[in-house]
Amino acid sequence: MKKKNYVIAFANHKGGVGKTTTTASVGTVLSQMGYKVLLVDLDAQANLTGSLVANPTAVTSNIAASMRNQSLGLPLYPVNKTLDLVPSGLDLASMDIELASAMAREHILRKLLTPVRDNYDFILLDCPPHLGMMTLNALTAADYVIVPLISEVLPFNGLTMMLNFIDMVRENLNPSLTILGILLTRYEKTKLSTQIEQGLRQRMGNLVFDERIRKNVTVAQAPLEAENIVNYDPKSNGAKDYRTFTEAMVNRLKNLEKE
C-alpha cells in the first residue's frame, strides 16, 4: 500500500452489533501490522475508552471538550507505541443539543482531525448507536464507512435506514464518502443466519465481506479487563477472525486504489 492515510467510520444506528469491539480490535491488529493508528470514541457510553484505558482517572479530557472548543485540539492518549486514543465521556451525551445552533456543526470533527491526520495511517471512528450529531460528524469526516451487522431480522430490516443516512451525508456533506463494506458480527451458523446472509449478499453483493466475526464469549469478557480481544485472548475465534478481517479490509483498500 502506498503511503496514504484513511479515516474509517464504524457505524450502525442499531446497538449491540459490535461497533466498539470492531473498532478496538481492528485498530489493535493494524497497530500490530506496523501502522500508526488513532481511535476516536464518539459514544457517550465511552465503551471504547473503557476497553482500552486501564486507569480511567488518567483521562482528564475527552472529545466533548474539543467539540465545544475546537481551539483545544484533540486529547491524544497513547495506548501503545503505534496506537492512540481520543477518549469519550458522559458529557458527550448532551452534544446534540449543545451544537444545535453551532456554525457548520457537521464539520467540527473533520476540522479537529485535520491537524493530526497526517500523523496516522488509519483513523478509526467508533460511532454511537443512533443517527445523531456524532454519527453525522463521523460520516462527514470519514473517507469510508463499515457497517457492522448481526444476522438477525431486525438489524437486517434496519439496514435501509442506515444506507439512506449514508446517502444523505454523501449528497449533502461528504461526496467522497464510500461504503467500504458490511461486516457480519456475532455470527452463528444457523438456518436464520444463513437466510439473512444470503438475502444480504443478494441485496448488497460484494459489499458484504466474506470474512465474518464468530460469536465468542471472550469478546464480551475482554473489556472487563480494559483490554481488546486481540490481546486478551489471541488464540480465540474472535481474535483470529478480527485478524483475518483486518487483512481483508486492508486488501480491499489496496484494490480500490488500483481502480
CA distance 151 to 187: 7
**CB 126, CB 23: distance < 8 Å:** yes
What cell numbers appear for 84 in the block? 492512540
Inform me whether the pLDDT recorded for 27 exceeds 60: yes
DSSP state of 33: T
**Which residues, including other chains, have CB under 8 Å from residue 240's CB and lie 6 or more apart?**
none
Question: According to the model, what pLDDT value does residue 146 have?
Answer: 98
Inform me whether the pLDDT recorded for 222 exceeds 80: no
Please tell me the chain's helix, strand, coil percentages from 3-state DSSP, rounded to the nearest 5: 50, 20, 30
Inform me whether the pLDDT recorded for 220 exceeds 80: no
Question: According to the model, what pLDDT value does residue 225 have?
Answer: 60
CA distances (Å), origin 192, targets 156, 162, 199: 11, 22, 11
Average pLDDT (162-177) is: 96
Average pLDDT (25-40) is: 96
Question: According to the model, what pLDDT value does residue 108 have?
Answer: 96
Using DSSP's 3-state secondary structure scheme, residue 178 falls into: strand
CA distance 194 to 187: 10
